[in-house]
A and B are shown apart, each in its own frame.
Chain A
Amino acid sequence: MSSELPPLTIREYQPGDEHAILTTFNRVFGGVDPTFQPRTLETWRWLFEQNPSGSRIFLALTEDGAVVSQYAGLGQRVHLDGELASFSQSIDSMTDPAWRMVLREPGFFVLTATPYGERFGGGGEGQDAFMWGLPVWSAWRVGKTYLDYEVLRTVLKLVCPLERLDPGEAPGVDVEEVASFPTDVEAVGVARAELAGAMAVRDVPQLDWRFVKRPAQADYGQGEHDRYAIGVARRGGQAVGYAVFKKGLFDRVADEGLVCDFVCAPDDDGARAALLRWLASRARAAGAARLVAVFPETQPEWQAFQKAGFHAAGTMYFVVGRSWIKRYRMRWLFETWFTTLGDTDIV
Chain B
Amino acid sequence: MADYELREYRDEDLPSLLDCFNTVFREGNPDHVDRTRAEWDYLFAKNPAGRRIFVAAHEDKVVAQYAALPITVWMAGAERKFAQIVDSMVHPEHRRGLKRPGLFVQTALPFFDAFGGRDKDWVHYGWPVEPAWRIGKKFLKYEVVRTQTVLAREPDRATEMPPEVERMRSFDHQARWVYERCVDDFGASAIRDDRFLNWRFVENPFHDYVIFGVRDADTLLRGYAVYRFCDWKLPRMGVIVDWLVPPGEPEVGELLRRAIDARATADQASTVALFLPEWSPWFDRFQGWGYHVWPTDYYMVGRNFHPRFDMRWLREAWWYQLADSDLV
| Interface residue ranges, A against B (CB under 8 Å) | 137, 144, 150-154, 156, 297-298, 302-303, 306-307, 311-314, 318, 331, 334-335
Contacts and interface: CB of A to CB of B under 8 A. Distances in A.
B156 interface: no
Contact of B144 (A151, A306, A314): A151
Contacts of A335: 295
A306 B292 contact: yes
Nearest to A310: B287
B137 interface: yes
Given A303-B292, A331-B130, A313 B284 contact: yes
B292 A156 contact: no
A312 B287 contact: yes
Given A137-B312, A312-B287, A313-B278, A334 B147 contact: yes
Contacts, number: 52
B279 A297 contact: no
Chain B interface bracket (under 10, 10 to 19, 20 to 34, 35 or more): 20 to 34
Nearest to B316: A314
B143 A297 contact: no
B61 interface: no
7 nearest CB pairs, A to B:
A314-B278, A312-B293, A151-B144, A297-B295, A154-B146, A311-B287, A153-B147
B149 A297 contact: yes
A312 B282 CA distance: 12
Given A144-B143, A154-B147, A311 B284 contact: yes
Contacts of A331: 130
Contacts of A313: 278, 283-284
A29 B292 CA distance: 39
A314 B276 CA distance: 11
6 contacts: A302-B293, A303-B294, A312-B287, A313-B283, A318-B144, A335-B295
B315 interface: yes
Contacts of B315: 154, 314
Point out which of B145, B149, B277 has the most chain A C-beta atoms below 10 A from its C-beta: B149
Contacts of B146: 154
A154 to B, nearest CB: 4
Contacts of B144: 151, 154, 318
A335 B149 CA distance: 13
B64 to A, nearest CB: 26
Interface in B270-318: 277-279, 283-284, 287-288, 292-295, 299, 312, 315-316
A156 B130 contact: no
A298 B147 CA distance: 11
Contacts of A297: 147, 149, 293-295
Nearest to A318: B144
Contacts of B293: 156, 297, 302, 306, 312
A8 to B, nearest CB: 31
Given A154-B144, A314-B315, 8 more contacts: A144-B143, A151-B144, A151-B147, A153-B147, A154-B315, A156-B293, A297-B294, A313-B283
B279 A314 contact: yes
B137 to A, nearest CB: 7
Contacts of A152: 147
Given A154-B146, A156-B149, A298 B292 contact: no
A174 B179 CA distance: 53
Nearest to A306: B292
Contacts of A314: 277-279, 283, 315-316
A312 B130 contact: no
Contacts of B299: 151
B295 A298 contact: yes
Nearest to B130: A331
A150 B295 contact: no
Contacts of B130: 331
Interface string B138-171: 0000011111010000000000000000000000
Contacts of B292: 303, 306-307
Contacts of A302: 293, 295
A153 B279 CA distance: 16
Contacts of A153: 147
A314 B130 CA distance: 24
A150 B137 contact: yes
Contacts of A312: 149, 278, 283, 287, 293
A151 B312 contact: no
A25 to B, nearest CB: 26
B287 A151 contact: no
Contacts of A307: 292
A104 B30 CA distance: 55
Contacts of A318: 144
Contacts of B284: 311, 313
Nearest to A156: B278
Contacts of A150: 137
A79 to B, nearest CB: 21
A322 to B, nearest CB: 13
Contacts of A334: 147
Interface in B87-118: none
A86 B113 CA distance: 43
Contacts of B312: 137
A146 B312 CA distance: 19
Contacts of B295: 297-298, 302, 335
